[in-house]
Structure 1
Amino acid sequence: MSTDPPTDPPEPTDGTTAAASPRPRPLPATGQPRGALAAFRHWRRTRPFWAAVWTGIGGFVIFFLPMAPLGKILQVGVGGIAGMAGGVVLMARALLILLMPSQRHTAGVLAVIAGVASFPLSNLGGLFVGMVLAVLGGSMAFAWLPEKPAGRTGGLLRRGRKAAETPVPPVSVGSGSA
């Protein structure tokens, strides 16, 4: 007995030839992306991607706007160094938002604080552009929610109805002394 599948498709019974009827392409299993672009798209949708992008661009603008020759930075003083430090902090926050979405709240709040702090410390927050992008990205990271599973819509309403239907036994509250 052979368990090998047949190699030739069966002939169609409607009068057409086998070459005329197209073979259906096998579809991938559900949940598996088809290519690198689809894999990236799936990865991107599981984290606050655009929040990290805006925060990183804001940090980049704040970091590189005060970049000048070393003599100029020494003349500028703390403003040039604070601008570079703020930009580095924002770019690190962007990486944290992107790579650890569970820490998005902390990273988002710190990105907003660093963006606002860049206003007095670094050339008006990268001429307002870096500050606005950092605040936008940090607030987007704080507000981002992961995608909910498909089969769990309206769970609170159902639980609330079930809880109302089941009787709750009375509980006695003692004074706490023996």
Structure 2
Amino acid sequence: MKPSTTPRTAGRALPLLLAALLPLAGCGIPETGVVEAGEPATGVLDPGTAPSPSRAQPTPVPVAAVPLFFVEDGALVSVTRAVPGATDPGTVVLMLFKGPDEQERERGLTTELPLAVAAPTVRVDGASVTVLLPRGTGSLSDTAVDQLACTVAAARLRQDPVLDRA
């Protein structure tokens, strides 16, 4: 005759069964020992003390001179803008599409590029730069194409001075 299990006996056996199966349910990552990964952390403060401010002088952000080509009396004119930080051709193209600033407009500079609804996509491959205009941008006049080409070429040559052309 088979011994009968009562719900009470089964209730006690279940936790034992789960405890026995738990080591078998690992995630498959092998056990490792201590892994050396450099020097131990330093600078731990005692409880209740505040960190002191750094006495090091902040490093100034470099200013880059960025040439943009706008239009004055139908001819291209190079304007140099000073911008903080490094500039890549994509950033320069976006600046160009925003058009002349207030001072440049007062000087009579204009643009033939349309206002960009979205940022153009700029891809650089060696000396070659490809500018993909956002969908919905109308066709560009010859002067607008020249504005874009001259600005992109100047930006690429500033980015990589080793190039002799872009």
Q: TM-score, normalised by structure 1?
A: 0.23
- Whose RCO is larger (CA < 8 A, sep 6+)? 1
Structure with a larger share of its residues in helix: 1
Structure index of larger Rg: 2
Greater strand proportion: 2
TM-score (normalizing by structure 2): 0.24
